[in-house]
Amino acid sequence: MNGSQNNSKIRVVIDTNIIFMAWYNPFGKCAEVFRRAREGKIELFSPDSVKEEIIRVFGRRGLSQEEIEEFLNDFPIEWVDKEIYTKLIDKTKVKHKPDKPIEALSLILGCGILSADKHFKSRVDINELIRKVEK
């Protein structure tokens, strides 16, 4: 991950709930974000803690490691190691501890957060995001 940003792409940090919503409804707005990312119009980033959460949830549902990896590989997300964002955990304002890595990564990248959780100050509106990339 480098610091340069391609002006034709919008960067966002993506939360677990958006990934699950896209998976459960492949024709919804969340899935549309992933389609736009596959087209190269949006860059999606997420902390490794989100990936770990997905692995835990699907593991409890009885999915094999291979099935979980296949699921994760279906999403064009750049997973970011905790060494990158932990230095800004103390600067986060969100109170829910599992969301601190998401906010910290957003601070590092200087971009918004795509989440169904309304407590993020830098939350991106999904409708606005889709409209921006349709232009």
The ranges assigned to domains in the chain are 10-130
Res 5 pLDDT > 70: no
What are the angstrom distances between the C-alpha of 21 and each of 78, 109, 113, 116? 18, 24, 15, 9
CATH code of the domain made up of 10-130: 3.40.50.1010
Q: Cβ–Cβ contacts within 10 Å for residue 108, how many?
A: 19
Stated as kind and residue range, the H or E segment containing 133 is helix 126-134
Averaged pLDDT score across all residues of the chain: 91
Summarize pLDDT for 109-128 with one digit per residue, the tens: 999 999 999 999 899 999 99
For position 74, what pLDDT does the model report?
87
pTM for the predicted model, two decimal places: 0.89
CA dihedral angle for residue 118, residue 123, residue 127, residue 128, rounded to 10 degrees: 150
